[in-house]
Amino acid sequence: MPFDDLRQWIAALERAGELRRIKTEVDPVLEIAEITDRVSKVHLQGQTTPTAQAGGPALLFQNVKGYPGAQVLINQFGAESRMKLALGVKSLDEIADRIRMFMDVKSPQGFLDKIKMLPMLAEAGKFFPRTVSSAPCKEVIKHDNFSLLDFPVLQCWPKDGGRFITLPCVVTRDPNTGKRNVGMYRMQVYDGRSTGMHWQRQKVAAEHYREMLRRGAGGSERERSAAVDIMARTSGGSQLIEGKMPAGKMEVAVAIGTDPAVTFSAIVPAPPDIEEYLIAGFLRGAPVELVKCETVDLEVPAGSEIVLEGYVNLDELRTEGPFGDHTGFYSLEDLYPVFHVTCITHRKDPVYATTIVGKPPQEDAYMGKAVERIFLPLMRLTIPELVDVNLPIEGVFHNLMIVSIRKSYPGQARKVMNAIWSLGQAMFTKCIVVVDEDVDVQNLAEVTLKLFNNIDPQRDIQFTMGPVDSLDHASRYPDFGSKMGIDATRKWPTEGFTRPWPDEIVMDAKTRSLVDSKWKALAKELGLP
């Protein structure tokens, strides 16, 4: 059964023994983050108790300093077991299989084929969101006399620029198509009624913003392009860019504390034409209920704990950051649009849902690994020779991708690298390692053995230039730098390799079978499992 809201999800976590309620008084400034960071790394500290699984439990803080009665939920996705519980599966590959099933549907050739498709069409009909007239997120409506600081927003790291809303579902609308987008972008709280809006250049909401700039600029294409170029890196701190950017407003809504499928959908690298509410419906197997906002023409999940409504001025940028990021380093301060809050609605006694990022592993690591498994079938649409993918957690998801392929022709590994660099968010991948299909990419020891044995560095490493993640502090320019691809597949004569390729050392089947038959007794003598 899908979870209708965050409260159902919290109850499910508690039933599953995945939640801990914290009664000790804690400060939302730094202290909650330090506690959560320790819990998320408990398995790295030699803990072996049943409750000390990788990632630690979800935490519900119920005694937050300065916020009597408030509750803060964090680390809700911080373990593989909770990601599976959130999405209602025993294995994340189940969702990949469902995606594959819908992708494999062929056009019906006759009446019987059409009849056979009816159950699938009926299931697909469950995915589309539906609008309701009243909603729990509107139990309290505040058009004035409100402040963002009424909520226990965290400061996570000592050098952060301030408090940040870190788990928001930010809703914008494409000014051309009218389609909604739900993204997750950190929001630095400047004061009680404004925040930064950290949508990086390559994000969908940033493209909505640029299109609004183009429209507001009017005039020639050159003038419109010049207006968009204002989003290029500048310096000088908080300021208005007067006389250069077109005036106007872009409506934005922010939902905090949504059901787990909606929250997860906000981070998935979906094609821009597919609404995240539809993806959430697919993951839940039931439609997401939406409600119209009070002051902006947007819809938000009806079961949200907190909703912020407002706008971004097209002619305003302000310094945002620094921020302790998922790379393990601070992302530096920079200029970003400013979100102005016009209305806040929320449930009675809302639960404030948040997260922290920092040196991995953290909660986002398990969300990223779920994306890796679920979207493998979609990658295969473009790269059919792809067998498996591993985005190691320590590679922070844009620094390293390891892929295995069925190699059929010379140079295929390099073709795969370039295909990956052309795929949505995968374009940011700094290093790609390509191995043969018999290599288990999830086994880093095996990958390391094959990688360094199989390459001639000058021949098998290629470099290229292109877009890089905005958080990459090592690139020569912001958002633009070099990438590396390593062809660690076996080399063929048709690739210019004329020496014999040696066989891998493997014991013969007869001897293995013989030792297998004796292993129980041997293991007892050896003191092994």
Name all contacts of 498-502 with Cβ < 8 Å and 24+ positions apart: none
Active site residue 93: no
Contact 266, 169 (CB under 8 A): yes
The count of other CB atoms within 10 Å of the CB of residue 392 is 18
Tokens of 488: 């660690």
Task: Give the DSSP H/E element, type plus range, for residue 382.
Answer: helix 376-382
Contact 486, 432 (CB under 8 A): yes
Helix axis angle, 221-228 relative to 204-217, nearest 10°?
140
Q: What is the longest distance spanned by two Cα atoms in the chain?
A: 84
CA distance 58 to 15: 12
Name all contacts of 6-11 with Cβ < 8 Å and 24+ positions apart: 6/73, 6/257, 6/258, 6/259, 6/260, 6/303, 6/304, 6/305, 6/351, 6/353, 7/351, 8/259, 9/76, 9/86, 9/259, 9/260, 10/60, 10/73, 10/351
Query: In this structure, what DSSP letter does residue 26 have?
Result: B
156: CB partners within 8 A, 6+ apart? 30, 33, 164, 166, 324, 356, 357, 358
Torsion of CA 39, 43, 46, 52, to 10 degrees: 70
CA distance 256 to 345: 11
Which one is catalytic: 325, 364, 469, 472? 325
* b (16+ CB within 10 A) / e for 516-528: eeeeeeeeeeeee
Q: Which amino acid is at 264?
A: F
CA quadruple 100, 275, 283, 468: dihedral sign: positive
CA atoms within 13 Å, Cβ hemisphere of 53: 15
Closest CA to 270 of 180, 168, 136, 210: 180
User: Which residues are known to be catalytic?
Assistant: 325
